[in-house]
Amino acid sequence: MRALAYCEGSRVRLISRKGEDVTAAYPELRALATAVGRRDALLDGEVVAMGDSGWPDFEVLQNRMHVRDVSLAQRLVAEYPVTYLAFDLLHLDGRPLLGLPYTQRRELLEALTLNGPSWQTPPSFIGEPGADVQKVSLQHGLEGVVAKRLDSRYEPGKRPGTWCKVKNIRRQEAVIGGWRPGKGNRSGQIGSLLVGVHVDGGLAYAGHVGTGFTDRVLRQLTAQLAPLQRATSPFAAPLPADHARDAVWAEPVLVAEVRFTGWTRAGRMRAPSYQGLRSDKDPADVIREP
């Protein structure tokens, strides 16, 4: 979770991307002010929770992200500890650093030597082939890498062309087992597809796909799925209540190609996007790909 850390003497304030004060949610980060030497500093970074693999795991962080009760947050520290990864320094001792090139901001950040139980400055890889860095990120199930121009200045609230996020995108064939009706400008059409993959002889729910459609594709899918309606779910296990509440079930005979960023612990695709139908695939052969 992206967060600005305002270190002011002995105090720390954590402000989310939406401008919400989330300090109470992460009591283990209060000592960050001491770690920077009680100097006035404004850090940009992310709050992460490490999974069993020792790498950031967004699902683990879900246990902490929405907690606002101080006593509950304190109890969760032992079970789901978080770490603040500081990747940029915006102000230091009253001096704004936004106009400095990234290399200078990075030098000042590293000089703070943030390496504690709940905070660190992650390494940067200057001069390394980007493809090699991305390959390592993929091996560890990370979302991708961020590439920055070394001479770039920091521009708050903007996404200039001086940096880019390179995501690790995966592809998966998925059987369409139903859909959720569209609303608003999609009224009368498909809102999202309910898809699955075969696991142990049954169709396991793999999530709902609601992006990647053109108007023409939506019309085609609506026409193709209409005659496939059935009264019961083709999935081996019940779907989450909020997904099944308005679901229209379909015979599982169509196979979609889906792009996504990774698998959740529940076996669902994260950030899936529809790419098209695979008429060359037998639904019975669709399994979860590694």
Domains parsed from the chain with CATH numbers? 2-167 (3.30.470.30), 170-285 (2.40.50.140)
Average pLDDT score over residue span 152-176: 89
What kind and span of H or E run contains 248?
A: strand 248-260
Report, as an integer, the average pLDDT of 134-145. Answer: 88
Task: Output phi, psi for 201, to 5 deg.
Answer: 85, -5
- Give the pLDDT band of residue 187 (cuts 50, 70, 90): confident
| Res 52: pLDDT | 83
For residue 167, the model assigns a pLDDT of 86
pLDDT of residue 288: 93
Would you state the pLDDT for residue 185? Answer: 85
Mean pLDDT computed over every residue of the chain: 93
Sheet arrangement for strand 273-277? 202-209, 190-199, 170-181, 248-260, 273-277
Least confident of 54-68, 120-134, 162-176, 230-244: 54-68
Q: What is the pTM of this model?
A: 0.76
Instruction: Give the separation between CA 269 and CA 262, rounded to whole angstroms.
Output: 6
Q: How confident is the model at residue 143 (pLDDT cuts 50, 70, 90)?
A: confident
Cα–Cα distance, 205 to 193 (Å, whole number): 11
Report the alpha-carbon distance of residue 66 to residue 68 in Å, rounded: 6
The structure tokens 């169709």 sit at: 203
**Between these two residues, 206 and 138, which has the higher pLDDT value?**
206
Nearest to 177 by CA among 199, 161, 155, 192: 192
Residue 158 has pLDDT above 80, yes or no: no
pLDDT average, residue stretch 48-76: 89
Give the pLDDT score at 65.
Answer: 87
The residue that leads in pLDDT, 25 or 167, is 25
Residue 197, SS3? Answer: strand
Average pLDDT on 174-203 reads 94
Q: What is the 3-state secondary structure (H, E, C) of 61-130?
A: HHHHHCCCCHHHHHHHHHHCCEEEEEEEEEEECCEECCCCCHHHHHHHHHHCCCECCCEECCCCCCCCCH
Residue 281 pLDDT > 90, yes or no? no
Q: How high is the pLDDT of residue 179?
A: 97
Tell me the average pLDDT across 94-112.
97
Q: Is 47 helix (H, G, I), strand (E, B) or coil?
A: strand
In whole angstroms, give the CA distance from residue 276 to residue 221. Answer: 10
127 token code pair: 């001069």
The continuous run of DSSP H or E covering 33 comes out as: helix 32-35
Check residue 21 and report its DSSP letter. B
Average pLDDT over residues 66-85: 94
pLDDT tens per residue, range 221-262: 999 999 999 999 999 999 999 999 899 999 999 999 999 988
